Amino acid sequence: MGLKLQQSQHQHQQQHHSVAVKVNEQTGTKRGYTFIQANRAWLPKFLLLWVMVMAFLSTWIYKKMDADIKVRRKEVLSSMCDERARMLQDQFSVSVNHVHALAILISTFHYYKNPSAIDQETFAEYTARTAFERPLLSGVAYAERVVHSERGQFERQHGWTIKTMQREPSPVRDEYAPVILSQETVSYIESLDMMSGEEDRENILRARATGKAVLTSPFRLLGSHHLGVVLTFPVYKSKLPTRPTVEERIEATAGYLGGAFDVESLVENLLGQLAGKQAILVNVYDITNSSDYLIMYGHQNQDGDLALLYESKLDFGDPFRKHTMICRYQQKAPTPWTALTTAFLFFVICLLVGYILYGAAIHIVKVEDDFHEMQELKVRAEAADVAKSQFLATVSHEIRTPMNGILGMLALLLDTDLSSTQRDYAQTAQVCGKALIALINEVLDRAKIEAGKLEMETVPFDLRSILDDVLSLFSEKSRNKGVELAVFVSDKVPEMVMGDPGRFRQIITNLVGNSVKFTERGHIFVKVHLAENTKPVVDAKVETCLNGGSDGGVPISDAHQFKTLSGYEAADERNSWDSFKHLVSYEESRYDASINMTVPGETSQSVTLMVSVEDTGIGIPLIAQDRVFMPFMQADSSTSRNYGGTGIGLSITKCLVELMGGHISFVSRPQVGSTFTFTADFGRCKKASFNDTKKSNTEDLPSSFRGLKAIVVDRKPVRAAVTRYHLKRLGILPEVSGSVMISASACGKNGSSCGSKIQPDIILVEKDLWLSGEDGGLSSRMLDWKQNGHTFKLPKMILLATNITNVELEKAKAAGFVDTVIMKPMRASMVAACLQQVLGIGNKKQVGKDAQNGSLRSLLCGKKILVVDDNMVNRRVAAGALKKFGAAVECAESGKVALKLLQIPHSFDACFMDIQMPEMDGFEATRQIRMMESQANEQMNGGGIDKGFARNGEWHVPILAMTADVIHATYDECLKCGMDGYVSKPFEEENLYQAVTKFFKV
């Protein structure tokens, strides 16, 4: 244990390091943040940036859309404006053409014809009838050019004087242009001198100079308040040369045709014909004087969209005058709702998306943070757990050492002369100390299991002897309580299995200890069998008796009893006789048929055992059953008060069972009892190692009883089976009988040579059967036989009892009924001891030993043996043992000395060599000895002795290794370096005998 502790400490440190490393690793992975996590501080900034970008984007979208709309608006305006301008221009030029035509008409018919073909009447009618051709002209009139010299003549001719525009007789001028012909609509201007008006005069002068239609600047027309312009056309009285000069033109001028354009109504009409006249405002300007625009149409101060203007050029055919049309929308540009809405919606959506992303990122960050925190906490918790286990292990170990000291000193103290009070104190202290040590060991185990440091050994061990040991541990307690304690191991379970005997013992001890603690009556029964044997038994009722109904004749008086070990009800029916007997009977048949029969599965490497521990104790409360295996949990708090204990045992047991590759379960009924069942995997022993190790690990069961016959008188079949099991282990052939009478009569018959199938040497009777008094006259009969000194050998009567009072014992002995009492729990070794005592073959073992001794003696007697060991004590012990068998022993304390002694020739018959020695170890020494020998042999052979002549002639001293550990590797090593075998240290006769017989033939 100490060894493991030390290891575990060592591992603890490693574990500590590994934990630290793990922490580092985990923090390392934690640093592997996601992108989001890495930029967590930037998240709000990202959001802000996003919002800003989106705001910018939506503004841009808005502007773009707005600009589009404006452009379209402008385009619409320009196209509308151009359209209007063109139409106006067209209409205007049509009218001008007509006036032109009229001028030609006048020149043709008024001047070329003589007399004139046109008078006022004709002109008025013609113009009235062709007025539709000139829709823009309110009227036309013709004014003749009259120079001052001709004024008188002219006035006389026409009968009126030339008047000015103000309708006054015209003052004297160079030239006059009185209207002579006029359309009816403008007849009021007849006789008015056109040259008296400033505008008209300029017009006239310009017209006759250019020969083209000229326009006045706009002015208020006479007779209407509309703005208008006057168109003047020169009429020439003679044909002009192709390229006339201005003088020629003036000279040729006969008069002037004029017409007034009512621009205002003109444009009004025109616009009225077009769609969308409401939408735009049209202004027409005379821009001849670029600094002073003269309005021709439209209001100067109009409402409307002043922001957007479109200007279209108008060409009315007068190169001197320039006109323009300016259009604008009547209404201001409407708010661009579409653009606004689109941009706004876009912004809102982006904002939402941004916020959602932000929220998600924040959430991710939070979750990751939490996760990392949890991870860290987990690591810390685990570290704390490891630290706890470590602490427990260390502290337990540290406590154990001084505790051992205390216990040792107490033990020493108890050996001294003490008063009874002092002794009592010391003993109490010792008991407490032991309990403490036990507790510490449990805690240590628990800690080790938790730390995963508990390693299972794999060594061969005898399961049965371990069970016996455990039982003997509790025998005292159970006996005091009157609880029957029994163990049964199925014959199919191999004698030796590979596993961890210490841990197996611990499990059994825990379970049995628990059972003993909680059981006040009835029994505790440990049963071991192969796991595959536990098939449910269906036809349990078919078989009613054991061994062909040997108990058939006995009336079962206590029928109410359960068929369990003690007759008390057990929690798990599987252990009751009904199923148990199948196991037994199966083995029986197998046992009888052939011991060497190969059992299926024997070839497999592992064997699964099922162990059940059944008690008839207080059971486990139903509520507590699900936390039975949890550490530090007892059924309820009162349990620890009543029964003590920490409740750690079962949890350790469970861990151990699981480490053994099995599992544990239990069935428990309150006030009835509990049955714990567990399985565990063990390895099968190889035959080779089996023989080597068998004897070293187990206590020998004497073989002197082999072949004896016994009758077990017991009416409880389970208990009888247990007894049978123990007897069988001793090689005794048991029979089970239900009553003393039958068995006794069997003896009797035998005595009269009736030839019953058995002649019992021993009769084992259960105490309760004996007490039931059914033996009646039997005892006296037996006594009778004894006293009469029958010739045949009387069977020995043995009483089996769990507890027996002195009175009862005396009574039994006095009655001569029994020869001895075997106290339960039964153990093979104890039974053997009792039987030895009773049968008087107690010395038989000695005899057997002597026989072996004898053979050893005969083998070793007179032989000269060299014992090589550096250890004084070992040397002395080995020498003593060998001397005892008559050997002459010489000792050597080192390999070198041995080499010297074994220089050829020598007289030694054998050499026992320790392996581990300073300077030269056993292996090396052996190698050198063998080298020496082979050299000597070669020389001999060289000396002419035939090789096959005699083996005796060759030097080869048998060398046996002495070693404390019997590992196979060591054995191989031994053979490799030339040794002939090995014996375990300290010597065991059997082992020694086996090793020695190989060389010393008798």
Partner 1 sequence: MDRNRLQHQAASMRRSLFDQGYLDEPFIQLEELQDDASPNFVQEIVTLFYTDSARLIQNIEHALNSRPIDFDKLDDYMHQFKGSSSSIGAKMVTNECTVFREYCSAENAEGCIRSFQQVKQDYAILRRKLEVYLQMVRQAAVSQKA
- Residues of this chain that interact with partner 1 (CB under 8 A) are 1-3, 5-7, 9-10, 401, 404-405, 408-409, 411-412, 415, 869-874, 876-877, 880-881, 883-884, 914, 916, 918, 964, 985-988
Closer residue to partner 1, CB minimum distance, 208 or 479: 479
Closest distance to partner 1 from the beta carbon of 664 (Å): 29
Which residues lie closer than 8 Å to 982 by C-beta, 6 or more apart?
A: 960, 961, 962, 963, 966, 970, 971, 974, 995
Q: How far apart (Å, rounded) are the C-alpha atoms in residues 345 and 349? A: 6
| The token pair that represents 856 in the structure block | 């050893």
Closest distance to partner 1 from the beta carbon of 870 (Å): 7
Closer residue to partner 1, CB minimum distance, 250 or 877: 877
Q: How far apart (Å, rounded) are the C-alpha atoms in residues 452 and 455? A: 8
Closest distance to partner 1 from the beta carbon of 881 (Å): 6
Judged by DSSP in three states, 387 sits in helix
Closest distance to partner 1 from the beta carbon of 434 (Å): 10
Closer residue to partner 1, CB minimum distance, 246 or 964: 964
Closer residue to partner 1, CB minimum distance, 816 or 886: 886
Closest distance to partner 1 from the beta carbon of 521 (Å): 28
Which phi and psi (to 5°) does residue 228 adopt? -160, 175
Closest distance to partner 1 from the beta carbon of 651 (Å): 26
Asked whether 311 and 290 are in contact (CB, 8 A), the reply is no
Closest distance to partner 1 from the beta carbon of 731 (Å): 23
Closest distance to partner 1 from the beta carbon of 809 (Å): 20
Asked whether 231 and 204 are in contact (CB, 8 A), the reply is no
Closer residue to partner 1, CB minimum distance, 495 or 988: 988
Q: How far apart (Å, rounded) are the C-alpha atoms in residues 264 and 862? A: 167
| The token pair that represents 402 in the structure block | 């001084």
- Residue 310's beta-bridge partner residues? 327
Closer residue to partner 1, CB minimum distance, 818 or 887: 887
CA angle 539, 542, 544 (to 5 degrees): 125
What is 123-156 written as a DSSP string? HHHHHHHTGGG-TTEEEEEEEE-EEHHHHHHHHH
Judged by DSSP in three states, 479 sits in helix
Closer residue to partner 1, CB minimum distance, 3 or 950: 3
Place of tokens 């069998």: 529
Closer residue to partner 1, CB minimum distance, 614 or 870: 870
Closer residue to partner 1, CB minimum distance, 366 or 883: 883
Closest distance to partner 1 from the beta carbon of 874 (Å): 5
Q: Which parts of 540-669 are beta strand (E)? A: 606-615, 664-669
Asked whether 970 and 962 are in contact (CB, 8 A), the reply is no
Closest distance to partner 1 from the beta carbon of 849 (Å): 9
Give the chain's end-to-end CA distance (angstroms, integer).
Answer: 45
Closer residue to partner 1, CB minimum distance, 71 or 851: 851
Closer residue to partner 1, CB minimum distance, 8 or 779: 8
Closer residue to partner 1, CB minimum distance, 444 or 493: 444
Which phi and psi (to 5°) does residue 338 adopt? -60, -50
Rounded to whole angstroms, what are the CA distances from 301 to 304, 370, 683?
9, 74, 119
Asked whether 979 and 960 are in contact (CB, 8 A), the reply is yes
Side chain identity at residue 465, one-letter code: S
Alpha helices in 752-861 (DSSP H): 767-771, 778-788, 806-815, 828-839, 842-860
Closer residue to partner 1, CB minimum distance, 256 or 987: 987
Closest distance to partner 1 from the beta carbon of 831 (Å): 20
Q: DSSP code of 953?
A: G
| The token pair that represents 187 in the structure block | 């007849």
Asked whether 230 and 216 are in contact (CB, 8 A), the reply is yes
| The token pair that represents 247 in the structure block | 């003088």
| The token pair that represents 229 in the structure block | 């312009």
CA atoms within a 13 Å half-sphere pointing along the CA-CB vector of 350: 19
Closest distance to partner 1 from the beta carbon of 786 (Å): 29
Q: DSSP code of 558?
A: -
Q: How far apart (Å, rounded) are the C-alpha atoms in residues 303 and 470? A: 121
Closest distance to partner 1 from the beta carbon of 545 (Å): 43
Place of tokens 């987990």: 378
